Amino acid sequence: MLKIGIILGSVRQGRNGEAVANWTLDFANKRNDADVEYELVDLADYKLPFLGAEVPEAQQAEAEQTIKAWSEKIASFDGYIIIAPEYNHAIGGALKNALDYLNPEVNNKAAGFVGYGSLGGTRAHENLRLILGELQVADVRTAVTFSLLADFENFSVFKPADYHEANATEMFNQVIAWSKALQTVRG
């Protein structure tokens, strides 16, 4: 069984990412891929401290448990679909911080991107390609890009255009193919 984690990479209050992540999970499940299991992982469920910041002694045990849970959850997948908002031409700080806690957990795995923002999150995708390259994650070419101007009514009610399904189909096909291939590298 191939396991693909759909990571919701925003923790912002009132975030649009929740609707995008739910659309992505629904789309994935409707594909009925044989021997592929999808799971939504919400970064907001992991209260990760800033990497390298001093954690008060009274909170250290909880912080260590959260870091361990995050690491184990991400390690359990063969590939990823990262839901990435674009903030100031890059990914958000919470997602970058969460990725900084990882390395061997994601080595030789595949990732695809679903973005949202004024330009569909494309600059966040490019930022992710640099970060994931360092983590030895193979990112796929096709991405899904939701525009805040065209796919959200009043910038907040998610109403994606139908044409996104073609890119989503191709992105999932690529992530599945690469995830299967990279299983052989990991042994």
* pLDDT tens digits, one per residue of 80-125: 999 999 999 999 999 999 999 999 999 999 999 999 998 899 999 9
**Please, how many CA atoms are within 13 Å of residue 137, restricted to the half-sphere of its CB?**
28
Mean pLDDT of 5-30: 97
The pLDDT score that the predictor gives to residue 187 is 79
Burial (0-12, 13-18, 19+ Cβ within 10 Å), 57: exposed
Give Cα 167 to chain centroid, integer Å.
Answer: 16
The predicted structure's pLDDT at residue 111: 98
Q: Does this model's pTM top 0.85?
A: yes
Distance CA 173, CA 114 (A): 14
Average pLDDT, the chain: 97
> Could you report the per-residue pLDDT of 33-66, keeping only the tens digit for each?
999 999 999 999 999 999 999 999 999 999 999 9
